[in-house]
Structure 1
Amino acid sequence: MNTNFENNTFLIESLKQGDEKAYSHLIEKFHKKLFTYAFSLTNNKPLAKDVLQNVFLNVWIFRDKLDSKLSIKNFLYTATYNEFIRQYWKNQSTKDLENKYAQALNEVIEETDEKSINTLISIVTQEIQNLPKKCKKVFLLSKEDGLTNMEISEYLDISIKTVEAHISKAYCIIREKIGEKTSSILFLIFPNKKTS
């Protein structure tokens, strides 16, 4: 193992360059302590494991965004806490999502028969496919993959305002076709994602 990895700046710079040995060192050095911390937050070993897996995965995916001046230890603990919060609200809202799905379906059914619902879903699906290339990509990253605007901004290297503009444009195009039922139909297509 390269002892230079004990140097905070060298470790981060190596990670930014895609050095897999640096990444292995990072995991080996912090995994046990971070797991203990994650477990203290979740009191659930499988969930703590998921939290930690996502933290290390995101470090690698977004490694080029790391700041060599930051403390990697503080960064990892903060990332673990933020991931715990994200997972907490995700699990907390599961029942709410199920209720919202049923509500959205009922709202559409009250005014629309099954055949028409399927037609509306087909129309929306087609409109999404016909969106401008960049607009479509941003919209699907948001609704299909569930990424936040910040995550999309970092992933595509565009500003958050640009992300918001693409999503708003997609909504406007879809609303022109199906009007007020847009949110309900989008929720039926993407039940586990935000639709507004």
Structure 2
Amino acid sequence: MYKNNIDFIDHLKRGDEKAYVYLVETYHKPLFNYVLSLNADRALAEDIIQTVFLKTWEYRKRLNPNYSLKSFLYTSTYNEFINQYHKHRAFSILEKKYIEALDEVVSEIDNKNLLEQKIALLNRGIDLLPPKCKETFLLSKKEGLTNIEISEYLNVSIKTVEAQLTKAYKVLKNKIGKQLKSMLFLLFGKVNRVKL
């Protein structure tokens, strides 16, 4: 159908849909099997292959006719697999931390009402923080800003930010106790930067 790799890529670059169909028909099964050899999840493999084909079509004008299309597709598939793996892994770590925090709190507070009371107490504690202290704390926990970002945003030194956060943690720890770290994670869904 196509004389060689250069001719085939030339058709793709010109937006020839028949060339795209040929690409999918020729490489779908081998690429799918390749992803399955890396991970047994068939749904994930299908997603990865679809993404690779779509990206290949979107960036077809940049394809290098002197580079093997087969090698390009396998490299793209591997890179997409790595991207997906890191995404899922990061999500799993966060999910695991959240479950651990929930278990920690629930194991120490069997009563659901007591858990709600603790969350209400934490929210009240945050509301009662001095204004600058509260603002700094919420920028850190709720907005997820780093200390440097907070210092730039509030136009104060990093030392001031650290002092305000330390003060907030101290006040809240006195109200909540040793479960503060877990409670904050449950409330804001972020791992604390300050060691409690």
TM-score by length of 1: 0.51
Q: Give the AA of the match of 1:42.
A: N
Of 123, 133, 153, the match for 1:177:
153
Q: Secondary structure at the match of 2:82?
A: helix
Larger radius of gyration: 2
Identity among equivalent positions (%) equals 42
1:150-193 CA-to-partner distances (Å, cap 9, x unmatched) read xxxxxxxxxxxxxxxxxxxxxx9986324768xxxxxxxxx9xx
The equivalent residue for 1:51 is 48
Any gaps of 5 or more consecutive residues in structure 1?
104-108, 125-171, 182-190, 192-196
Deviations 1:94-153 (A, max 9, x none): 1334549xx9xxxxx99x947958x859xx8xxxxxxxxxxxxxxxxxxxxxxxxxxxxx
Structure 1: distance between partners of 2:47 and 2:151: 37
TM-score, length basis structure 2 = 0.51
Of 4, 7, 12, which aligns to 1:10? Answer: 7
**Residue in 1 aligned with 2:74?**
77
CA distance in 2, matches of 1:16, 1:63: 5
1:66 matched residue in structure 2: 63
> Hey, what's the Cα distance between the residues in 1 that align with 2:150 and 2:21?
46
Give the C-alpha shift of residue 36 in structure 1.
1.1
1:56 offset after TM fit, Å? 0.6
Instruction: Write out aligned runs for 1:1-196 (5 A).
Output: 3-4=1-2, 7-98=4-95, 99=97, 113=126, 116=135, 176-178=152-154
- Aligned CA RMSD, in angstroms, stands at 4.1
Note if contact 2:139-2:150 (Cα within 8 Å) is conserved in structure 1.
Answer: no
Unaligned runs of 5+ in 2: 102-121, 128-133, 162-189, 191-196
What SS does the aligned partner of 1:67 have? coil
2:65 alignment partner, SS class = coil
